[in-house]
């Protein structure tokens, strides 16, 4: 598996540094990534946003990639950070990847802010929604295209992606993390049900986990009010992590 450094943009600053993990088919120029970078610049903390393989500026075809590839990209970004504690902010699929990465780097990750967490979404959401015709096409061709509200051409889903996603499931067992975790989820999310965030909260072993349900909030949570809420929660989490480090 390649460990080439993904395309990224970094702002230097104080620790704990923040790494933003974007969503499925998203990229590092999204509104949440840019808003958090502006916050980092204003407040002077280190911040990194990046593109997974097959996303954004990556030259790799999307359909060639799996959860394992995107997790490795996330770990590569974490490992190239300067020494010190990190907070991972994950949006949608990025929340799942942030959880997986934190399980593999528990000494580095001191906190998680998870937005519309799509934990285990390939097994929990994609596979159950497939029709018999789509399943047969996947078995025959190894690839299908599914409709998307965000892409007129739909997006490719491969048999390889689904099989790999099963290997990274978290919700079928306790999640062995003990850092503070903050979850935000819109009650009007039409893409990822808020119940996935609730189940994530229940499976986390940490005793410091809160779930904030936002009335009227959609999947993207990118309105000015949503972005301000995300910024507040991140600042609170950074202050808590800094306080824990002094104790």
The per-residue pLDDT for range 78-116, each reduced to its tens digit, is: 999 877 899 999 999 999 999 999 999 999 999 999 999
Identify the active-site residue in 164, 189, 191, 226.
189
Pairing of β 109-115 and β 45-50 = unpaired
pLDDT, residue 1, reads 44
Is there a domain that residue 141 lies in? no
pLDDT, residue 3, reads 57
Q: Is the peptide bond before 16 cis (omega within 30 degrees of 0)?
A: yes
pLDDT, tens digit (0-9, with 9 covering 90-100), for 161-183: 999 999 999 999 999 999 999 99
DSSP state of 187: T
pLDDT, tens digit (0-9, with 9 covering 90-100), for 50-88: 999 999 989 999 999 999 999 999 999 999 987 789 999
Neighbours of 245 (CB within 10 A): 12
pLDDT, residue 231, reads 98
| pLDDT bucket at 4, cuts 50 / 70 / 90 | confident
Alpha carbon distance 146, 157 (integer Å): 7
Is there a domain that residue 71 lies in? yes
CATH number (domain holding residue 176): 3.40.50.1820
Picking from 98, 82, 18, 28, the residue whose alpha carbon sits closest to that of residue 57 is: 28
Is there a domain that residue 20 lies in? yes
189 part of the active site? yes
Is there a domain that residue 228 lies in? yes
Q: Is the pTM of this model over 0.85?
A: yes
Identify the active-site residue in 26, 91, 92, 197.
92
Q: Which pairs with CB-CB distance under 8 Å and at least 24 residues apart come from 35-41?
A: 35/227, 35/230, 35/231, 36/89, 36/230, 36/231, 36/234, 37/9, 37/11, 39/231, 39/234, 39/235, 40/11, 40/13, 41/11
The total domain count for the chain is 1
Structure tokens at 103: 């399980």
Is there a domain that residue 127 lies in? no
Distances in whole angstroms, Cα of residue 143 to Cα of each of 10, 127, 206, 214 = 35, 13, 38, 35
Is there a domain that residue 3 lies in? no
Is there a domain that residue 91 lies in? yes
219 part of the active site? yes
Q: Any idea which of 127-136, 151-160, 197-206 has the lowest mean pLDDT?
A: 151-160
Chain-centre distance for alpha carbon 182: 13
- Residue 219's domain spans which residues? 8-120+169-246
C-beta separation of 33 from 89 below 8 A:
no
């Amino acid at each position: 598996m390649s460990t080439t450094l993904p395309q990224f943009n970094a702002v230097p600053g104080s620790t704990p540094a923040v790494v933003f993990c974007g969503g499925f088919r998203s990229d590092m120029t999204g509104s949440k990534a840019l808003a958090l970078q502006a916050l980092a610049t204003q407040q002077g903390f280190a911040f990194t946003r990046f593109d997974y393989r097959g996303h954004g500026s990556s030259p790799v075809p999307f359909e060639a990639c799996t959860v394992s590839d995107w997790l490795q990209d996330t770990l590569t970004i974490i490992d190239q950070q300067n020494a010190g504690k990190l907070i991972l902010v994950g949006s949608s699929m990025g929340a799942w990847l942030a959880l997986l990465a934190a399980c593999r780097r528990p000494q580095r990750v001191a906190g998680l802010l998870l937005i519309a967490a799509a934990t285990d979404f390939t097994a929990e959401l994609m596979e159950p929604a497939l029709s018999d015709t789509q399943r047969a096409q996947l078995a025959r061709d190894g690839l299908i295209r599914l409709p998307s509200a965000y892409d007129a051409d739909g997006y490719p889903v491969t048999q390889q992606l689904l099989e790999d996603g099963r290997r990274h499931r978290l919700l079928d067992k306790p999640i062995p993390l003990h850092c503070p975790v903050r979850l935000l989820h819109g009650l009007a999310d039409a893409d990822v049900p808020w119940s996935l965030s609730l189940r994530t909260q229940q499976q986390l072993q940490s005793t410091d986990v809160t779930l904030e349900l936002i009335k009227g909030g959609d999947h993207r949570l990118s309105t000015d009010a949503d972005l301000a809420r995300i910024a507040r929660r991140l600042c609170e989490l950074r202050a808590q992590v800094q306080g824990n480090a002094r104790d």
